[in-house]
């Protein structure tokens, strides 16, 4: 009899412990859009990842922001250093919390990537961020930040330029069209300057993996950073999503390892579409043999049967597109296009 009561008690306890996990994710929150930029809008300058070691770099960022017709405002800890990080985790998160609280700040622009954004995700005030939606833009290590905010608040964030990117004409035009004008932009590879006098396009060629069109919310960023937050509460819901990935300076076997991680974690099986961007300086080992990057991507994505392509002009390249994270888009895997279905800003 005692054993029977014990088993009943254990069964009830187990059901209580496992019940929350059966519910899955909480009901999605309404999509939040930040207000569009206006000439003279204030932009908060932060260092949420790598430290600024040379003050001239900060001056370059300030000139870029002013060149956009915006007013830069420095975060209190923007020049702090803690090893390779731009200050302690709580202080870097505090700068972002402060700018979200400040109603006079319209957007937040990181100086650079590097490493460190994932470390400060637990210290962000997501309730405050949800109550004060504004533009946050960045790429590379900032993938963790733009995805984390979208996952926790449903705020549309932006995979786009950091302060120290090139800010040449094409990059600036996309930034203005999406964040100033509020256009529903269609993104498509364009000829690189090196190809301008050629009969054919050599750089940034679209390689269709599986033909077709698909719609879903756009999620993605740097593969290394994305892979590292799988299983955390800072990854947005990927059911029916369009996922894009890019990386830089990774051996091909490491790309394969991270793609395999996403596969066995069930990430790929939930997607409506897939885009692989640029993998700058992603080379094979110098040993006896290697898969090619194309073979790795095709191995993991082709069996899914969803619209997919590689070669998108997304990544650590000269022109950084301003892509809306969490917004519904339509992709065409033959043409290699990403079409926003609505503006990303109000």
Listing DSSP states for 30-91 in one string gives: PPB-PPPP-TT-EEEEE-SSB----HHHHHHHHHHHHHTT-EEEE-TTTT--BTTBSS-HHH
Give the residue carrying structure tokens 């094979």: 284
The count of structural domains within the chain is: 2
Among the candidates 138, 167, 196, a domain finishes at 167
Mean pLDDT of the chain: 92
- DSSP conformation class of 27: P
Torsion of CA 102, 104, 107, 109, to 10 degrees: -70
pLDDT in tens, 200-226: 888 899 999 999 999 999 999 999 999
Domain that holds residue 251: 186-340
User: Would you mind telling me the total number of residues written for the chain in this entry?
Assistant: 346
At residue 24, the pLDDT reads 39
Name the E strands within 78-164. Answer: 105-110, 135-138, 157-159
Residues 200 and 330 in one domain: yes
Residues 217 and 132 in one domain: no
d(CA 143, CA 224): 9
Looking at the domain assignment, is residue 85 inside a domain? yes
The answer to whether residues 66 and 40 touch, using CB atoms and an 8 Å cutoff, is no
Residues 144 and 266 in one domain: no
pLDDT in tens, 59-113: 999 999 999 999 999 999 999 999 999 999 999 999 999 999 999 999 999 999 9
pLDDT above 60 (res 10): no
pLDDT in tens, 235-279: 999 999 999 999 999 999 999 999 999 999 999 999 999 999 999
The alpha-helical segments, DSSP class H, found in 68-142 are 89-101, 117-120, 126-131
CATH code (residue 219) = 3.50.30.60
At residue 198, the pLDDT reads 84
Residues 59 and 123 in one domain: yes
At residue 200, the pLDDT reads 85
Instruction: Name which of 50-54, 56-60, 197-201, 217-221 the model is least confident about.
Output: 197-201
Any idea which residues carry the catalytic annotation? 140, 246, 316
Query: Confidence class of residue 11 from pLDDT cuts 50, 70 and 90?
Result: very low
Output 8 or 209, whichever has higher pLDDT. 209
Among the candidates 116, 134, 167, a domain finishes at 167
At residue 98, the pLDDT reads 98
Looking at the domain assignment, is residue 193 inside a domain? yes
Cβ-in-10-Å burial (0-12, 13-18, 19+) of 120 comes to: buried
Beta bridge partners of 309: 208, 275
Residues 199 and 329 in one domain: yes
Looking at the domain assignment, is residue 31 inside a domain? no
At residue 288, the pLDDT reads 76
Looking at the domain assignment, is residue 32 inside a domain? no
Query: Confidence class of residue 23 from pLDDT cuts 50, 70 and 90?
Result: very low
- DSSP conformation class of 84: T
- DSSP conformation class of 294: H
Helix axis angle for 252-264 and 293-301, nearest 10°, is 10
Residues 195 and 318 in one domain: yes
Residues 234 and 305 in one domain: yes
Output 195 or 140, whichever has higher pLDDT. 140
């Amino acid at each position: 009899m005692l054993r029977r009561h014990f088993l009943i008690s254990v069964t009830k306890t187990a059901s209580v412990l496992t019940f929350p996990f059966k519910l899955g994710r909480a009901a999605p929150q309404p999509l939040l859009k930040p207000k569009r930029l206006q000439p003279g809008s204030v932009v908060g300058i932060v260092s949420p990842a790598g430290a600024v070691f040379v003050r001239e770099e900060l001056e370059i960022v300030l000139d870029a922001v002013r060149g956009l017709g915006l007013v830069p405002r420095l975060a209190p800890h923007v020049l702090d250093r803690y090893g390779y990080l731009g200050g302690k985790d709580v202080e870097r998160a505090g700068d972002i919390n402060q700018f979200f609280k400040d109603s006079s700040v319209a957007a937040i622009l990181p100086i650079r990537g590097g490493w460190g954004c994932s470390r400060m995700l637990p210290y962000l005030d997501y309730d405050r961020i949800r109550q004060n939606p504004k533009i946050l833009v960045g790429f590379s290590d900032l993938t963790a930040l733009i995805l984390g905010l979208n996952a926790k608040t449903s705020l549309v964030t932006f995979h786009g330029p950091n302060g120290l990117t090139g800010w040449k004409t094409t990059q600036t035009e996309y930034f203005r069209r999406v964040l100033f004008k509020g256009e529903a932009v269609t993104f498509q590879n364009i000829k690189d300057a090196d190809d301008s006098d050629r009969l054919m396009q050599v750089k940034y060629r679209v390689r269709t993996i599986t033909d077709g069109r698909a719609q879903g919310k756009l999620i993605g960023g740097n593969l290394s950073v994305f892979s590292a937050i799988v299983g955390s509460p800072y990854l947005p819901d990927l059911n029916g999503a369009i996922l894009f990935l890019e990386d830089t300076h990774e051996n091909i076997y490491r790309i394969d390892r991270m793609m395999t991680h996403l596969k066995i974690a069930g990430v790929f099986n939930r997607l409506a579409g897939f885009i692989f961007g640029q993998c700058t300086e992603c080379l094979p080992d110098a040993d006896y043999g290697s898969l090619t990057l194309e073979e790795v991507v095709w191995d993991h994505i082709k069996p899914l049967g969803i619209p997919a392509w590689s070669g998108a002009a997304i990544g650590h390249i000269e022109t950084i597109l301003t892509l809306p994270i969490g917004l519904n888009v339509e992709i065409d895997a033959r043409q290699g296009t990403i079409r926003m279905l609505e503006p990303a800003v109000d």
